[in-house]
Chains A and B, each alone.
Chain A
Amino acid sequence: MDLGRKHQPDYWIIVICSILLAVGVVIIYAIGPALKVTTNLSGSYYTSRQILAIVLSIVAFTLTAKIPISKWRQYSKWLVVFALGATFLAIILPVNPAYPAHRWVRFGSISFQSIELVKFAAVIWLAGFFARAIKNNTIKDFGKTYKPLLILLLITGVLIAGVQSDLGSTAVLIAMMVIMAFVAGFPLKRIFALGGVIVILLILAIIIFPYRRARIESYLHPSSNCSSASGYQACQALIAVGSGGIFGLGLGHSVQAYGYEPEASNDSIFAIYAETFGFIGSVALVGLFLALFNRFKNVAENIDDEFSQLLIIGIIAWLGTQTLINVGAMVGILPLKGITLPFVSYGGTSIVFSAGAVGLVFQLSGYTKRNSLSQNDNNKRRIAYEGGTYGRRIGRSRNPDLSNSQELEEK
């Protein structure tokens, strides 16, 4: 695997992620008094733990940004083994009565959610899987590509949706698989067939677990269900978002955080944010996420290596789905899932592994064939290049195959 010459990576990625992390810390700090009321732990407890998570995420980011992509690809099998091991540990280990789902691996005071490692390992492994299929031209082969995917889907369904009862993460993993398969050139017919299988599984999951049925019902009638246990959170989220108005109640003035909206610092942090900063702030935050994914997309579009491209697409699918599911639930257009808002929600595991994923994209952003990260940048650079002040030719891959394809395309 040759990514060509390295050039300056896209520092906007770091800027955007830093803003998102800062927003999370600020909100968690601001609702500290409310968290104290609802959980009896001081606000500074949450803030300091979040800051610690950010420190760890910088470490994770540095590792993924520095260790060459080829190594990650090479060892992705081991990552998968590791992730599966963690999942089994989470299932086997005794649970915390406060959070009875088998989602946590604990070693003394350190604990992490195995699913975040699973997403990280899966995205790298899947990118490799599809890249190999492209290279060997087996992408349309039922036995070599379709069947393993189905098996993977089944394993995900059983372990994540079934045993861990984590439908949100299942959705993220499935979205990852489907979108990567789609971009990898999977026949549309098979994707639709896959979609059919997923819908059937989803219906089964809803029928088997009554609490999910209740969630769906409360999703369909949010305001009528403010008093019921299943609809309470969704209803209070809508109240939080709506009562924010145009400008929001202002930092430190959230009321819904005071025990009305459950999980104010985790899954529901967007609702509290929207209450605090209003429509303007909410659009800005959603826009920030879109900008981040736009940067990612630009890197993906301009990289000549199919593994790298698929890896970035997988990461967009991962973080994008997670963002949309989370925000969508808070604004009442999707049913509630226990899923965090990347970088913003309280929770170390999610932040560390998301930062790790971003580190991979950041590394790859130094290897795009044209530094066309945005139209604006592009123009500036072109002017600079044409003016002769730009000292080196950047982004052109030295991979002869890819160079050819470039030329063919240009014809």
Chain B
Amino acid sequence: MSNNLIDFQKMSKKRIHIMYSFLVIFVAIIIIQLFLLQIINYNTYKNAALKSQLKQYQIPAERGLIYIEGGNGSQVPIVLDQKLYTLYADPSFIKSNAAANKIAKKIAPIFNANPGQLTSLMETKNTRYIVLGNKLSQAQSQKILSYQIPGIGTQGQDYRVYPEGQLAAQVLGFVNQNGVGEYGIEQAMNKQLAGTPGQVKAVTDASGVPLAANSKNVEIAPKNGDSLVLTLNLGMQSQLEKILAKEYTATKSQGLSAIVMNPYNGHIKAMANFPTFNPANYQDVSNQKIFQNAAVDDDIEPGSTMKIMTTAAALNLGVIKPNTSFYDPAQWTIDGFTIHDIKIDGGAREQNIQSILALSLNTGATWMLMQMGGGQIDRQGINNWYEYMVNHYRLGQVTGIEQGYEAPGFVPPPNMADPSIDLRYANTSFGQGVQLTALQMAAADSSILNGGTYYKPTLIAKTIYPNGQTKVNPPKVLERNVVKPVVGQEMVPLMEGVVKAYLYGGFSFMNFPSNYIVGGKTGTAQLAQPGGGYYKNIFNGTYAGFVGGKNVQYVVVVYNIKPAVPGYAGSYGAQPVFADIVHMLINQGYVTPR
């Protein structure tokens, strides 16, 4: 046995021990580290794991559809839903340029995309979500998903479709890219239409697909939105829109709105404005003002159409009778200002209630306000008239119609610190210094003409729940004793008289078949100038009227903003529009004759 081998035996034993000790120490370090990771810091890693593994998804609820009345009790869809798909990639799954290229070549032809562009999108750094394509059809989406490419997915999104084109666009509004309704009924009824999205909380694989049967999974089913059947009538609405488009040009208008309302339940049968927009391409609209339903959202000083309300209030207070006559001095001096009529008809002379309306005498309206007090403009008269405007006719507050951005209008408070409050109130009796939307006027006049019940104006006839059940929207009474029923009956012939007076005055378009009743009132409103006073040559034309057979059947209100007509804006700008609408209603058989 050589020495070196003996040496080796001695030494190797020792060194094997050293080596093995290192191994044991290292294993001990690993066990300590396992202890730290799995026991001491367990919660940290558990949470880190859940943070990436437990994903929360919304299951989108289906948005409700919108129908309108199609005649004979049928319902016609006016807003439908279509599911389209967003194609996305999670670039962390796409490891190389070659892989991205391969995927791009495979999927690009399916939705006519540029493969090069897709490749570069898929190589986007530092993101886990990049959109590759929008608005893919279901077939395209399914084809792409069938390839089961890791990191490529699609996401369904609902888009609104409008089978009737731009019909009632401003009433409907639209749904923005985030699925939120904007303007019109989509905004006002957003919550009900949208429903409640469901939720999935699930432990998923890295690409986000939930793992089956994990105890941490939670699923809440979505509640789909309700569908709505509007009170609008398809035929009436489309005819109205045609009329407005035509008259907008004919009267060189800067904005034309009209409402056809059923005075007995507050149902809006037709409501439109011109200009309008196409809700399918709402993105293309540059002037957002056009999204608004001006008939609801814009309040103006209405002018003499207000006299319907003044007369009805005075009649209801019993301070005048339909046949009361009085001496018209042709002008009043109030607070140092002179009130006179826009057109001077023969100066001071005997007048009556019918002629106040037919000739649109501002002095007459002021006189009626005086009668509401102690025979002149006083506190009692102002308070009485304010009470009628605000609490009977519900002016100065929103009606609550299912529309976005409804304007409340404006009624000057009687206690406002204004030295010329008397003059201000005298003005309100003929529609200046008070602001109303077309809808407020239609609703208030409806409450007079139906005999004193103020119905909340509404666009919703029925609600269809996701389970298929329908609920009829009952008329909602907001005010019961606007005027006595007899006042409504007295107002009909007075307003008919105005129509007759215009017919005899040469407005041949105001000639309606004798088995129908048609009444109304024009308004030529001055526009307030910033800094006080009124413009000299710019007017808004308004018209408030009704059509019926035995009874009043529809209340029609027209607002024509700054028409350029050779005469009074009310008579020449708004009245012809009213006449067109009433002729249409009669000719199309919407009105039952006497």
Q: Which A residues have a C-beta under 8 Å from some C-beta of B?
A: 34, 37-38, 40, 97, 134-135, 137, 139, 179, 182-185, 223, 226-227, 238-246, 255-256, 258-260, 274, 278-279, 282-283, 286-287, 289-290, 293-294, 297, 300-301, 304, 306, 309, 313, 316-317, 320, 324, 327-328, 331-333, 400-402, 404-405, 408-409
With A255-B205, A289-B27 already in contact, 11 other A-B pairs whose C-beta atoms are closer than 8 Å? A183-B12, A255-B214, A260-B205, A274-B38, A293-B20, A293-B23, A297-B16, A306-B12, A324-B23, A324-B27, A401-B1
A278:B38 contact, CB within 8 angstroms: yes
Q: Is the CB of A327 within 8 A of B30?
A: yes
Whole-angstrom distance between the Cβ of A192 and the nearest chain B Cβ: 14
Prevailing SS type, chain A contact patch: helix
Asked if B416 is at the interface (CB within 8 A of a chain A CB), the reply is no
Q: Are B30 and A328 in contact (CB under 8 A)?
A: yes
- B5 x A405 contact (CB < 8 A): yes
Q: What are the residues of chain A within 8 A of B34 when measuring CB–CB? A: 241, 274, 279, 282-283, 286, 331
Contacts of A409 in B (CB 8 A): 9-10
The reply on B509 being an interface residue by CB < 8 A is no
Q: Is the CB of A183 within 8 A of B31?
A: no
Number of B residues with CB within 8 Å of any CB on chain A: 51
Partner of A331 from the list B12, B30, B49, B209 (CB cut-off 8 Å) is B30
Ordered by A's residue number, 18 sampled pairs between the chains whose C-beta atoms are within 8 Å are A37-B207, A97-B98, A134-B8, A139-B4, A238-B45, A239-B45, A239-B48, A242-B45, A279-B38, A283-B31, A289-B27, A297-B16, A300-B16, A301-B16, A324-B23, A324-B26, A332-B33, A409-B10
Is residue B7 contacting chain A, with contact meaning CB distance below 8 A?
A: yes
Residues of B within 8 A of A227 (CB): 126
What's the nearest-Cβ distance from chain B to residue A233, in Å?
12
Q: Mark B441-473, 1 if CB is under 8 A from A, else 0.
A: 000000000000000000000000000000000
Contact of A246 among B19, B39, B45, B52 (CB under 8 A): B39
Let me know if B6 is at the binding interface, CB within 8 A. yes
Do residues B19 and A286 form an inter-chain contact, with CB atoms below 8 A?
no
Complex Cα gap A332–B33 (Å): 8
Q: Name the B residues within 8 Å of A256 (CB-CB).
A: 49, 53
Known contacts A134-B5, A183-B19, A246-B38; decide if A324 and B211 are in contact (CB<8 Å): no
- Mark contacts of B72-97 with chain A using CB atoms, 8 A cut-off: 1 yes-contact digit, 0 otherwise: 00000000000000000000000000
Given that A297-B20, A313-B19, A331-B33 are known contacts, is A243 also in contact with B48, CB under 8 Å in the complex?
yes
* Cα distance, A309 to B11, chains bound together (Å): 12
As a 0/1 sequence over residues 12 to 30 of chain B, the CB contacts with chain A under 8 angstroms (1 = contact) are 1101101110011011011
**Is there an interface contact between B4 and A137, defined as CB atoms closer than 8 Å?**
yes
B-chain residues with CB within 8 Å of residue A301 when the two chains form the complex: 13, 16
Nearest Cβ in chain B — how far from A136, in angstroms? 8
Cβ–Cβ contact A260 & B206, under 8 A: yes
B residues in contact with A332, CB < 8 Å: 33, 37
Residues of B contacting A317 in the complex (Cβ-Cβ under 8 angstroms): 19
Tell me which residues across on chain B come within 8 A of A179, comparing CB atoms.
19
**Residues in chain A near residue B45, CB distance under 8 A:** 238-239, 241-243
Task: Give the distance in Å from the alpha carbon of A368 to the alpha carbon of B338 in the complex.
Answer: 131
Instruction: Evaluate contact between A333 and B33: CB separation under 8 angstroms.
Output: yes
Measured CB to CB, the nearest residue on chain A to B52 is A260
In the assembled complex, which residues on chain B have CB atoms less than 8 Å from the CB atom of A259? 150, 205-207
Residue of B nearest to A180 (CB): B19
How far is B37's CA from A223's CA once the two chains are assembled, in angstroms? 12
Residues of A within 8 A of B327 (CB): none
- Is B148 on the interface with A (CB-CB < 8 A)? yes
Expressed in whole angstroms, the minimum distance between the Cβ of B433 and any Cβ of chain A is 65
Question: Complex: how many Å from CA A55 to CA B18?
Answer: 36
Cα A409 to Cα B49 in complex, Å, equals: 58
Give residues of chain B (28-63) contacting chain A, Cβ–Cβ below 8 Å.
29-31, 33-35, 37-39, 41-42, 44-46, 48-49, 52-53
Q: How far is the CA of A245 from the CA of B35 in the complex (A)?
A: 9
Specify the chain A residue showing the minimal Cβ separation from B212: A33
Which chain B residue lies CB-closest to A403?
Answer: B1
**What residue of chain B has the Cβ atom nearest to residue A40's Cβ?**
B148
Cβ of A124 to closest chain B Cβ, rounded Å: 18
> Which residue on chain A has the smallest CB distance to residue B40?
A242
- Nearest B residue to A97, CB-CB: B98
Taking a contact as CB atoms under 8 Å apart, the answer to whether A243 and B49 are in contact is yes
Looking at A227, A243, A333, which has the most chain B CB atoms within 10 Å of its CB? A243
Please measure, in the bound complex, the distance between the C-alpha atom of A228 and the C-alpha atom of B81, giving whole angstroms: 41
Q: With A245-B38, A255-B203, A286-B27 as given contacts, are A306 and B209 in contact (CB-CB < 8 Å)?
A: no
Residues of B within 8 A of A400 (CB): 1
Say whether B16 contacts A238, CB under 8 Å: no
Give the shortest distance, in Å, between B8 (CB) and chain A (any CB).
Answer: 5
Q: Is B324 interfacial (CB-CB < 8 Å)? A: no
Known: A185-B15, A313-B16. A279 touches B39 (CB 8 A): yes
| In the bound complex, CA of A260 to CA of B42 (Å) | 18
Which chain B residue lies CB-closest to A179? B19
Question: Does B587 have its Cβ within 8 Å of any Cβ on chain A?
Answer: no
CB of B307, distance to nearest CB on chain A (Å): 72
Q: Which residues of chain A come closer than 8 Å to B41, judged between CB atoms?
A: 242
| CB <8 Å contact, B23 and A260 | no
Least CB distance from A12 to B in Å reads: 17
Nearest CB in chain A: distance from B287 CB, A: 44
Residues of B within 8 A of A243 (CB): 42, 45-46, 48-49
Question: Given the complex of chains A and B, what is the CA–CA distance between A240 and B46 in angstroms?
Answer: 9
Residue of B nearest to A262 (CB): B206
**In whole angstroms, what is the CA distance A259 to B11 when docked?**
50
Which B residues touch A408, using CB under 8 A?
1, 6
Residues on the A chain within 8 Å of B37, using CB: 238, 241-242, 331-332
Task: Name the residue of chain B whose CB is nearest to the CB of A333.
Answer: B33
Least distance between A104 CB and chain B CB atoms (Å): 19
B24→A34 contact, CB < 8 A: no
- Say if the beta carbon of B2 comes within 8 Å of chain A: yes
* Residues of chain B with a CB closer than 8 A to A255's CB: 49, 53, 203, 205, 211, 214
Contacts of A184 in B (CB 8 A): 8, 12
Which chain B residues in 321-351 approach chain A with CB under 8 Å?
none
Which of B6, B126, B206 is most buried by chain A, counting CB atoms within 10 A of its CB? B206
**Which B94-139 residues sit within 8 Å CB-CB of chain A?**
98, 126
Residue of B whose beta carbon sits closest to that of A278: B38
With A and B bound together, what is the CA distance between A405 and B33 in angstroms? 43
Closest chain B CB from A314 CB (angstroms): 11
In the bound complex, what is the Cα–Cα distance between A179 and B22 (angstroms)? Answer: 11
Q: In the assembled complex, which residues on chain A have CB atoms less than 8 Å from the CB atom of B16?
A: 183, 297, 300-301, 309, 313
Q: Return chain A residues, CB-CB under 8 Å to B12.
A: 183-185, 306, 309
Shortest Cβ-Cβ A-B pairs, 8 listed: A242-B45, A259-B206, A258-B205, A243-B49, A401-B1, A279-B38, A137-B4, A404-B1
B44/A37 in contact, CB under 8 A:
no
Which B residues from 186 to 213 make CB contacts under 8 A with A? 203-207, 209, 211
A262 vs B291: C-alpha distance when bound (angstroms): 52
A40: chain B residues at CB < 8 Å are: 148
Residue in A286, A331, A401 with the greatest tally of chain B CB atoms within 10 Å: A331
Interface centre among B6, B18, B19 (most CB of A within 10 A): B19
